[in-house]
A = this chain, B = another copy of it.
Amino acid sequence: MEIEKKVQHFLPSADCPVRNILARLGDKWSILVLVTLDANGTMRFGEIQKSIGDISQRMLTVTLRTLAEDGLLVRTAYPEIPPRVEYRLTPTGKSLMPHVNALVEWALEHLPAILSRRNAEEKRE
């Protein structure tokens, strides 16, 4: 796609859908939940929470609901006692993961340089 067409989709800024989606991916927990589900397949709530470690029950609930609303993962509740609820990526969610993984790899590769730059900036200020 041409760059002009691409940039059009960013505007008007107040309701920019591309930025909106990227901002959501950048939020505190979304990427971590997606990466965890991508690595493990179908998971129960408690398994995801244990895998991530430091996420609160409330934050995980909100993150899972938001990602489900966007169609990136699907929540399945089984009518059992005790109730069993499982989460897995949808095909749309799976199609996102190669790009997320590429970005994570890039971030890991360039982290040392970026963090040392930030530290140097802080010292100068």
Q: Does A118 contact B69, Cβ atoms closer than 8 Å?
A: yes
Residues 87-124 of A, flagged 1 when their CB comes within 8 A of B and 0 if not, give 00000100110111011111110110111011001000
A50 to chain B, nearest CB (A): 12
Residues 46-62 of A, flagged 1 when their CB comes within 8 A of B and 0 if not, give 00000101110000000
Q: How many residues of A sit at the interface, in one of the four size bands?
A: 35 or more
Question: Is A84 positioned at the interface, with any CB of B under 8 Å from its CB?
Answer: no
CA distance A32 to B12 in the complex (A): 12
Chain A residues packing against B (C-beta within 8 Å): 1, 3, 6-7, 9-13, 17-19, 21-28, 31-32, 35-36, 38-39, 51, 53-55, 69-71, 92, 95-96, 98-100, 102-108, 110-111, 113-115, 117-118, 121
